[in-house]
Chain A
Amino acid sequence: MNQLLRFLIVLLPIVVLIFFGKILLVDEDIKFSNFNSKIFPEFQLNDLDGNPVQSGSLNGVKILNVWASWCITCLVEHPFLTRLSEQNIQIIGLNYKDSDLKANAWLKKHGNPYLFSIYDPRGDLAFDLGVTGAPESYLIVNNQVVGHIQGEMNQRKWETIFLPLIQKAKQGS
């Protein structure tokens, strides 16, 4: 009995450790892909040049990136987004709670990886999308929001969260 008890005292924590280790290492991808997809909310907004955004522009596979000129982390992820756009990934900006003057100046200074940027100074569309702050990125497939990354976009998040979803979407269509 005593032998068994001693054995269990050590074994049980090990089982717990292995279990959580497995969840962290193996199940991580499953966890992220469980994002409930929803239809992209309706909106009527202009882009940063003042032209109304066409509703058909969200067909196909698109990344919607929430950014602002006041947002620091946006500057951090900017080089990575630029690299993505060079690989012909289509990225649409959602300029969030910003002024168009500052936003355009920011794009001019740092480069523009976006096809166009939706100008959302009051954060209306962002609110409907459930944005909590900039930066955030959404994966949109044919007007459906299928994936979500909060905070900085980087190589790791891109590979583990968005890439598998994009491949899944391509196989599905």
Chain B
Amino acid sequence: MIGEISHFLSLSAVLLLSLVLIFNLFFFFSKIHPNQLTLSMRLFNQACWLVFISFGMYVYLAISDDFSIAYIANHSNSQLPIFYKITSIWSAHEGSMFLWIVFLTAWSILFINSLNNNHPLKKFTLLMLSLIILGFLLFLLLTSNPFERILPFGAVEGADINPVLQDPALAIHPPMLYLGYVGFVISFSFITAYLLNGNFELQWEQDIKNWSLVAWIFLTIGIALGSWWAYYELGWGGYWFWDPVENVALMPWLAATAFMHSLFASSKSNVLKTWTMFLGILIFALSLFGAFIVRSGIIDSVHSFANDPERGLYLLSFSGLITLFALTIFAYRLPALNSSKLVVTGSKESFLSMNNILMITSIFSIFLGVTYPLIIESINGDKVSIGPPYYNTIFAPLILIAAIFIMISVDALWQRSMPLRRFFTAIAVPVTLSLISMYLIWWTTSVFSILAYIGIFSGLLILFSYLLRVINNLFNKKFINKGSAIAHTGLGLLFFAVSMNSILSYEKNLNLAPGQSILVDKSVQEFSFNDIRVIKASNHDVISAKVSLLQDGREISLNPQKRKYTTRGQITSESSIHATFLKDTYLTIGDQLENGSWTFSLKINYFIKWIWFSAALMVLGMLLTIFKKKVS
């Protein structure tokens, strides 16, 4: 019964949103009715609340084990702790789409109510938001209905959550990512409304600045958490795989980052306005593209949901239409928009506009990487795969150029060109320091790889320029933008950590029988396989190995496991990690060989924790920026 009510509430939301649209279209050509906006707002708010209540009831259904609902029966189980009963809702397509819509609705209702009724863009923004929510609600109910019942009899027991997803990280990674993705519906709708409205005297940047900053923070946290989860919990042994689904999350992130920079420039000195608008539209378009790639199953990936062309077709046409709508208006209004001031070469804005071009190039390269296998397969049926070598080669030079621009722009001024002498003093010190440090790195590690050293150099350039700025700030009282400094230090650290990781990390595959011990290399002097045991747990069997290492003169004990889940028969690998400041020792147990020995994969990962630390710095920097804006 509750299932039907919940279903009914979602359907009512569809009805109310359609009413908002029909009602406004009806009055579009006639004189504006005085209560038009008030009434639309009331309908819209009610529709949003219906979606929330409907989702709340759905959560209740999941907690109370209503296995007559097909989705819950297929993804939950009565034995699960309540926590996982709730997270199981977003462990597959239908439920996660529901969550996606709930977040979409939440952002929309918060934003639209923050605008006062006289705001000239409120009406069009409301219409755009209604249209988008309506489109996705219909997608949910028509092609992926989470409320579907199993008739006439429900299941007695649920099929259980995918064991890989029985992890606390599932509770946060998808929601964070979705909050980020859909948060940009605000900039998308608002910019589209601005273009529809046609009064270009209006200042619009401030209205969406903080909203977009918050969405950016969620997106960054979501991506970083996904990478952290893959490394620590899923036992993939790495932090980034250039998997298509990671790529489609990275594209909106890059667009969003460019958008934020561009937004700072356009709200500060009235330049790059068209860029900002274009990027604002692009972020959400790329988010929708990501949803399409993941949910149509068009590309094989670790994340993809079951293949269903019907869903793919709906998503493609709906997201395609609204994106095309926004871009067409943008193109139509472009001549009128070109009134913003020209950028002075050598000013801070000029570097920001370079940044936009670099970001667009990166996005396009990733887009090509994602679609290239499809293009080839579609032309002659060959299967090709684009892997890390492609992305590494493309990104190394882009990163270097970006780093150089960041370095120079640290000392650049708003709206004014930079004197040549100042330019040279600005770059001399970081470049010299970076070259010396690179030589030291090469001298201590004696490893060389051109791409990695480009990355290291880029990272160091950024780090040293900001270090210099901080010193200047302390001793000469020069101004420093704290948020920007922290975020860019994070970026520099990221480049540095990723590149160092790529040259220093290594992997050894070992074969040992219980009781044996061997010498691995200079660092891991002794690897002893002490014991292996089979343990029965409630819903899985565990094979647990005890290994002790003598690493760099210290004794470490590791405990890698393999689990076989009884309900689904799935086997998962639980790696065991010993972490120190510089490196992680990462051990996974493989299969048993015929002679009774076991295979192990020992990975030594350098600077890996620094990667997430640098993401945390970027988030912190953005948070400071929001905070600062609120004070002034």
Closest B residue to A18 by beta carbon equals B320
Of B154, B292, B378, B569, the residue contacting A127 (CB under 8 A) is B569
A102 to B159, CA, bound (A): 17
Quick one: which of B499-535 are within 8 Å of A by CB?
Answer: none
Contact A151 B298 (CB under 8 A): no
Number of A-B contacts (CB under 8 A): 85
A19 to B377, CA, bound (A): 12
Contact B327 A13 (CB under 8 A): yes
B residues in contact with A51, CB < 8 Å? none
Q: How far is the CB of A19 from chain B (nearest CB, A)?
A: 7
B312 contacts the other chain (CB 8 A): yes
B residues in contact with A126, CB < 8 Å? 569
A residues in contact with B156, CB < 8 Å? 70
A residues in contact with B312, CB < 8 Å? 20, 24
Contact A10 B378 (CB under 8 A): no
Of A10, A28, A31, the residue contacting B328 (CB under 8 A) is A10
Closest B residue to A9 by beta carbon equals B331
Most buried by B among A5, A9, A25, A27: A9
B330 contacts the other chain (CB 8 A): yes
A23 contacts the other chain (CB 8 A): yes
A100 to B338, CA, bound (A): 75
Q: How far is the CB of A17 from chain B (nearest CB, A)?
A: 4
Contact A2 B74 (CB under 8 A): no
Knowing A2-B334, A23-B378, A150-B306, the reply to whether A72 touches B327 (Cβ < 8 A) is: no
Q: How far is the CB of A159 from chain B (nearest CB, A)?
A: 13
Of B155, B371, B568, the residue contacting A132 (CB under 8 A) is B568
Contact B378 A22 (CB under 8 A): yes
Q: How far is the CB of B626 from chain A (nearest CB, A)?
A: 31
Quick one: which of B297-327 are within 8 Å of A by CB?
Answer: 298, 306, 309, 312-313, 316-317, 320, 323-324, 327
Contact A23 B298 (CB under 8 A): yes
Knowing A6-B334, A70-B156, A151-B306, the reply to whether A23 touches B381 (Cβ < 8 A) is: no
Contact A9 B330 (CB under 8 A): yes
Of A13, A28, A71, A133, the residue contacting B324 (CB under 8 A) is A13
Number of interface residues of B (CB under 8 A): 42
A residues in contact with B292, CB < 8 Å? 20
Q: How far is the CB of A92 from chain B (nearest CB, A)?
A: 20
A58 to B327, CA, bound (A): 56
A120 to B375, CA, bound (A): 42
Closest A residue to B319 by beta carbon equals A17
A residues in contact with B569, CB < 8 Å? 97, 123, 126-127, 131
Knowing A24-B309, A72-B70, the reply to whether A13 touches B320 (Cβ < 8 A) is: yes
Contact B155 A72 (CB under 8 A): yes
Q: How far is the CB of B52 from chain A (nearest CB, A)?
A: 29
A13 to B511, CA, bound (A): 52
Q: How far is the CB of B315 from chain A (nearest CB, A)?
A: 10
Contact A6 B316 (CB under 8 A): no
| A interface, size bucket | 35 or more
Contact A21 B331 (CB under 8 A): no
B residues in contact with A131, CB < 8 Å? 569
Quick one: which of A17-49 are within 8 Å of B by CB?
Answer: 17, 19-25, 27-28, 30-31, 34
B residues in contact with A5, CB < 8 Å? 331, 334
Closest A residue to B335 by beta carbon equals A2
B401 contacts the other chain (CB 8 A): no
A residues in contact with B298, CB < 8 Å? 20, 23-24
B332 contacts the other chain (CB 8 A): yes
A152 to B5, CA, bound (A): 27
A75 to B375, CA, bound (A): 39
B residues in contact with A76, CB < 8 Å? 150
A14 contacts the other chain (CB 8 A): yes
Most buried by B among A6, A24, A34, A133: A24
Contact A19 B375 (CB under 8 A): yes
Contact A9 B327 (CB under 8 A): yes
B486 contacts the other chain (CB 8 A): no
B383 contacts the other chain (CB 8 A): yes
Q: Interface residues, chain B, CB within 8 Å of chain A? A: 70, 73-74, 150, 154-157, 159, 278, 285, 292, 296, 298, 306, 309, 312-313, 316-317, 320, 323-324, 327-328, 330-332, 334-335, 338, 371, 374-375, 377-378, 381, 383, 567-570
Known contacts A17-B320, A24-B298; can you find 8 more A-B pairs with CB under 8 A? A2-B335, A10-B331, A13-B324, A14-B324, A23-B374, A24-B312, A27-B378, A72-B155
Q: Interface residues, chain A, CB within 8 Å of chain B? A: 2, 5-7, 9-10, 13-14, 17, 19-25, 27-28, 30-31, 34, 70-73, 75-76, 97, 123, 126-127, 131-133, 150-151
Could you write out 22 A-B pairs with CB less than 8 Å apart? Answer: A5-B331, A13-B285, A13-B320, A19-B371, A19-B375, A19-B378, A21-B313, A21-B316, A21-B317, A23-B298, A24-B298, A25-B309, A72-B70, A72-B74, A72-B150, A72-B155, A75-B150, A76-B150, A97-B567, A97-B569, A131-B569, A133-B568
Which 9 pairs show the lowest CB-CB distances between chains A and B? A6-B331, A17-B320, A123-B569, A9-B331, A72-B155, A72-B150, A24-B312, A10-B331, A6-B334
